[in-house]
Amino acid sequence: MSIRIVSFEDRHLDDIRSINLSVSTHPDRPADEKALFQHLYIDYYAIYSKDSCFVALDGEEVVGYIIAEPCLECYRRHFLIDYMPTAISLRPEFEQYLKNEIRIYEKYHSQYDAHLHMDVKPGHQRKGIGTMLIQREFEHLKEIGCKGVMLTVSPSRIGANSFYEKNGMELIGNEGANVRGKKL
């Protein structure tokens, strides 16, 4: 296995969408909900914060990704203008979900100005790929002047919580999900 961490390119989008679906903790979600969550948690970053996104390649196969947004104001603006109408058209209750997502990031923004999402393809987990990805993201965010980075993760995802803790992301709050952060 020869893993390389490279900058995200548009050609990687379908691969990271596929990885995202393959690790879903809710595989039985309705199709419209899956589409919305991929739109929110994958496509947003591929469009608006591409420079802060990386993929792990094993040869030419995408086996993991990390996507981040260093600009909360950009995130808020795009979510409310670009994503809210689509979300509400799918299901009206998604409006509150999106507002809550933004509220969580706003609450911790003064110390953790960036946030991230990441996944590693099943069969490639527990091989150090996630650590390579997150360390590359930390370096990048520090280089561009971010103070810190945060994410939310379900308390039931014990392995994920352990991984983030091992990589220096402390528990900084609980908003129905564990809020983890690392100062850079």
Q: pLDDT tens track of the chain, all 184 residues?
A: 699 999 999 999 999 999 988 887 666 777 767 777 787 778 889 989 999 999 999 999 999 999 999 998 888 888 888 878 877 887 788 888 788 888 888 999 999 999 999 999 999 999 999 999 999 999 999 999 999 999 999 999 999 999 999 999 999 999 989 999 999 9
Please give the model's pTM, rounded to 2 decimal places: 0.91
Beta-bridged to residue 118, according to DSSP, are 66
Per the rule left: phi > 0, alpha: psi between -120 and 50, beta: everything else, 77 is alpha
Structural domains of the chain, with CATH: 3-145 (3.40.630.30)
Calculate the alpha carbon distances from 76 to 37, 81, 100, 144 in Å: 16, 8, 11, 20
